[in-house]
Structure 1
């Protein structure tokens, strides 16, 4: 039996935390390890309890939910689901790396959808891999396609490009638009398998077929499917180390 997903509830309203507890009652694989009424308490609780999942209100006295996330070290950041009564913060919440955004008062069906998304992400993080160097790195990405969720194995990804508040994920000949910050993907993807070649581009090193040197230290990378991508001079050193370039 797998260990429970350990959750911390952060909301300055007692009734809101009670509503979260009631909504979580339908999810037996989640264990509530603590509650906090403000962001200062939450900072201490995250450090002490190391929760896997954070249910986080946005508007709280003093430090708000976004500032709380900025105070946490990226490597210590749990999965985050924002819970708030204010829908206008949705875009910023996803930009901050949240898995989902649930409006209050909580609708159980919508909450369950958020939990399903969280669970898919969690299983991707926990999935065993053959290469020990990849342990702890993301193995799957869940992408919304219309009314459905497509689960993409990271091994199937050819390359990724930043696109405003989204990223374009190119995998198996298909382009998926996914609300995720490129910087967050860089934190969770295996750096031995995914190489940053430009400020807004990551490429799967297994898909690289050729590298063509250009002027001024830049280069062009050609993938197996013929896709051509720029390797900027800024990231040439990292490519040299990973690809063994001269």
Structure 2
């Protein structure tokens, strides 16, 4: 059962969304809040799986409310707004999704499906951490990484042979040729994959991306950027040990000081 909390300063908007959510048998609306402070109190008390959070509210708006939620107990968040330009801020704030008012049933269903998938991934991540703790205990290595516990050779062979990356988004499968990727940058919970002909926005993390790409071809050069080493044409020093890398498309991406050791791979 997906436990939902609705936060909106307009009673009619709260009621309308509650009715729409009620049409989904695996969704339970556990509470309603009319302002940010009440939302924080109910979130702590009810521990919902997902919050449908209005952006424009008097006093504490939706973004401020999200920022005030304790990170260790932060549920999934779907922003609800009447203005499309808030979508970018929603992604930057690590929201699961955003809905435009008036909320359409089809888009609501898509958001709920994303919530189900995200909760399943959280369960898988918790299982992964338990497995890693066991491996560390057995190996007697408290700093052991899961990647080191697996067969590096077998993983390298899989990555070497991978020619296409596949991502599921809103019920569609997006397929991107690996060789076409120039660079990847983070945008909240989403990734912008800049390829030859287009920029694809997919729901993933940089860690997910690194795990699917051959490290001999792709390297992280910034906390929010992965670059295809084969698409780098030149580099120029910037300041404080940083560099700008010129790609074959004419775009420049920054190599931050924290990743300066990656310069050896470009020489």
Which range, TM-score by smaller chain?
0.5 to 0.7
1:90 paired residue number: 87
From 55, 68, 73, the counterpart of 2:70: 73
RMSD (Å) for aligned C-alpha atoms: 4.4
Residue 132 of structure 2 corresponds to residue 133 of structure 1: yes
From 173, 177, 196, the counterpart of 1:150: 173
Residue 38 of structure 2 corresponds to residue 41 of structure 1: yes
From 9, 15, 18, the counterpart of 2:15: 18
Which stretch of structure 1 is more off in the superposition, 4-13 or 68-77? Answer: 68-77
Distance 1:17 1:31 in 2: 14
Tell me how far 1:141 sits from its aligned partner. Answer: 6.7
List runs of 5+ in structure 1 lacking aligned partners: 135-139, 153-157, 204-215, 219-229, 240-246
2:110 paired residue number: 113
List runs of 5+ in structure 2 lacking aligned partners: 134-165, 176-180, 213-218, 228-239, 243-253, 263-267
From 63, 80, 89, the counterpart of 2:60: 63
CA change 1:163–1:98 in 2 (3 A) is: closer
1:212 paired residue number: none
Secondary structure in 1 matching 2:32: strand
Secondary structure in 2 matching 1:87: coil
Aligned residues: 199
From 1, 24, 28, the counterpart of 2:25: 28
1:199 paired residue number: 223
**Conserved? CA contact 2:193–2:202, under 8 Å:** no
**Conserved? CA contact 1:143–1:176, under 8 Å:** no
1:167 paired residue number: 191
Tell me how far 1:42 sits from its aligned partner. Answer: 0.7
Distance 1:32 1:150 in 2: 30
Distance 1:163 1:127 in 2: 22
Deviations 1:162-212 (A, max 9, x none): 166762459xxxx973266xxx947xx58xx79965233369xxxxxxxxx
Secondary structure in 2 matching 1:63: coil
**TM-score by structure 2 length?**
0.57
Structure with the bigger percentage of helix: 2
CA change 1:36–1:159 in 2 (3 A) is: farther
Deviations 1:113-165 (A, max 9, x none): 2222222222222237566239xxxxx97446xxx53389xxxxx99831667
Larger Rg: 2
CA change 1:159–1:23 in 2 (3 A) is: farther
Residue 98 of structure 2 corresponds to residue 101 of structure 1: yes
Distance 1:151 1:7 in 2: 29
Secondary structure in 2 matching 1:60: coil
**Conserved? CA contact 2:185–2:224, under 8 Å:** yes
